[in-house]
């Protein structure tokens, strides 16, 4: 079976994002870019399913500008068999991303599609669910455990109330939560090997996907700052301070 993995490039999670003073966006020039942490987890899960003999091929896909090839090479170095680069210069929204992934599904016929539960740049948490809807297939979001048995997968999901387990028929879309696994580190020889792995480049526009993005971002603002508070020296002072605030 084939697994398709969403592998988005985002601003590294350690970067302190700054909003541009004119409110036109956030500062991204010269900022470190990395794989979305949830997508590293998605790829790791796919690789483990391949290592268990459940999957035979893992394909990573990204929708990004032309300079994202090195990013895909990282996915190949981590262990993906092939990469697909859908090139576009637009920062596309989830519905368009889902439509693009649907085209890839038609082309690749995967049994499982694993995406991150959310991209840590737009924090949308939508693409996997939208893709499953457009594909008319099951979704198992926020996965912390995946067991594949023949034509179905049993997925444990991190939900507000605790841990929910559902069973979905394949093919299906799974989105990852943080505790699904710990992604492996890329080893030097694998970086060399990745150079000769297949990387297919397609123009997003050639797939017949006009950017269907309909949400307009009017303005970017820095979040309201919390003002610095007071320091107390011991537990008794803390209790007194809470009483003053009427909290005890």
Partner 1 sequence: MSKILIIAEHLNGKLNSSTARCVSCAQAIKADAIDVLVLADAPDAIAAEAAKIAGVTKVLTVANAANQHALAAVYAPQIVAAAAGYSHVLAPSTTFGKDLAPRVAALLGVAQVSDVISVIDAHTFTRPIYAGNAIITVQAPADQVLVATVRTASWAAAADGGSAPVEALSLSAELPTHTRFVELAQGSSERPDLQSAGRVVSGGRGVGSAENFAIIFKLADKLGAAVGASRAAVDAGYVPSDLQVGQTGKIIAPELYMAIGISGAIQHLTGIKDAGTIVAINKDGEAPIFEVADIGLVGDLFKIIPELEAALG
Ligand X SMILES: Nc1ncnc2c1ncn2[C@@H]1O[C@H](COP(=O)(O)O)[C@@H](O)[C@H]1O
Ligand Y SMILES: Cc1cc2nc3c(=O)[nH]c(=O)nc-3n(C[C@H](O)[C@H](O)[C@H](O)COP(=O)(O)OP(=O)(O)OC[C@H]3O[C@@H](n4cnc5c(N)ncnc54)[C@H](O)[C@@H]3O)c2cc1C
Q: Minimum distance between the CB of residue 135 and ligand Y, rounded to whole angstroms?
A: 26
**What tokens were used for 45?**
């899960």
Residues 48-107 that bind partner 1 (CB under 8 A): 93-95, 98
Q: Minimum distance between the CB of residue 164 and ligand X, rounded to whole angstroms?
A: 20
Residues 161-190 that bind partner 1 (CB under 8 A): 161-169, 172, 177-179
Q: Minimum distance between the CB of residue 40 and ligand X, rounded to whole angstroms?
A: 10
Q: Minimum distance between the CB of residue 120 and ligand Y, rounded to whole angstroms?
A: 5
d(CA 4, CA 178): 19
Q: Which is nearer to ligand Y, 210 or 238 (CB)?
A: 238
Contact status: 12 vs partner 1 (CB under 8 A): no
d(CA 180, CA 159): 13
- Give me the residues that bind ligand X (CB under 6 A), please: 6-8, 36, 38-39, 42, 62-64, 92, 94, 97, 115-116, 118-119, 122, 124-128
Contacts of 75 (CB under 8 A, 6+ apart): 5, 7, 35, 43, 60, 62, 83
d(CA 140, CA 146): 9
Alpha carbon distance, N-terminus to C-terminus of the chain: 59
At residue 166, the 3 state secondary structure works out as strand
Please choose which of ligand Y, ligand X, partner 1, none residue 190 contacts, taking the beta carbon within 5 to 8 angstroms, the exact cut-off set by kind: none
Please choose which of ligand Y, partner 1, ligand X, none residue 238 contacts, taking the beta carbon within 5 to 8 angstroms, the exact cut-off set by kind: partner 1
Which residue, 141, 153, 185, 194, is CA-closest to 3? 153
What's the half-sphere exposure (Cβ side, CA atoms, 13 Å) at 15?
Answer: 18
Q: Which is nearer to ligand X, 40 or 148 (CB)?
A: 40
Buried residues in 83-106 as b, exposed as e (16+ CB within 10 A): bbbbbbeeebbbbbbbbbbbbbbe
Residues 199-238 that bind partner 1 (CB under 8 A): 213-223, 226, 228-238
Contact status: 130 vs partner 1 (CB under 8 A): yes
Please choose which of ligand X, ligand Y, partner 1, none residue 108 contacts, taking the beta carbon within 5 to 8 angstroms, the exact cut-off set by kind: none
């Amino acid at each position: 079976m084939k697994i398709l993995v969403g592998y988005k490039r985002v601003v590294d999670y350690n970067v302190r994002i700054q909003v541009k003073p004119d409110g036109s966006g956030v500062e991204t020039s010269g900022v470190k870019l990395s794989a979305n942490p949830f997508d590293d987890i998605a790829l790791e899960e796919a690789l483990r399913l391949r290592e268990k003999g459940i999957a035979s091929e893992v394909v990573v896909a990204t929708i990004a500008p032309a300079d994202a090839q090195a990013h895909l090479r990282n996915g190949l170095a981590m262990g993906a068999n092939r990469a697909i680069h859908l090139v576009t210069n637009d920062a596309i929204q989830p519905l368009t991303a889902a439509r693009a992934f649907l085209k890839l599904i038609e082309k690749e016929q995967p049994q499982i599609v694993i995406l991150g539960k959310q991209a840590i740049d737009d924090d949308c948490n939508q693409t996997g669910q939208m893709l499953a809807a457009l594909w008319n297939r099951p979704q198992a979001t926020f996965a912390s455990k995946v067991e594949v048995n023949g034509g179905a997968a049993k997925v444990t999901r991190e939900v507000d109330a605790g841990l929910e387990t559902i069973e979905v028929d394949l093919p299906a879309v799974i989105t990852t939560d943080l505790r699904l696994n710990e992604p492996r580190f890329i080893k030097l020889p694998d970086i060399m090997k990745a150079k000769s792995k297949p990387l297919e480049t397609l123009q997003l526009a050639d797939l017949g996907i006009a950017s269907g993005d309909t949400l307009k971002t009017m303005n970017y603002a820095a979040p309201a700052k919390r003002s610095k508070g007071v320091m107390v020296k011991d537990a008794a002072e803390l209790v007194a301070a809470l009483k003053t605030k009427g909290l005890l």
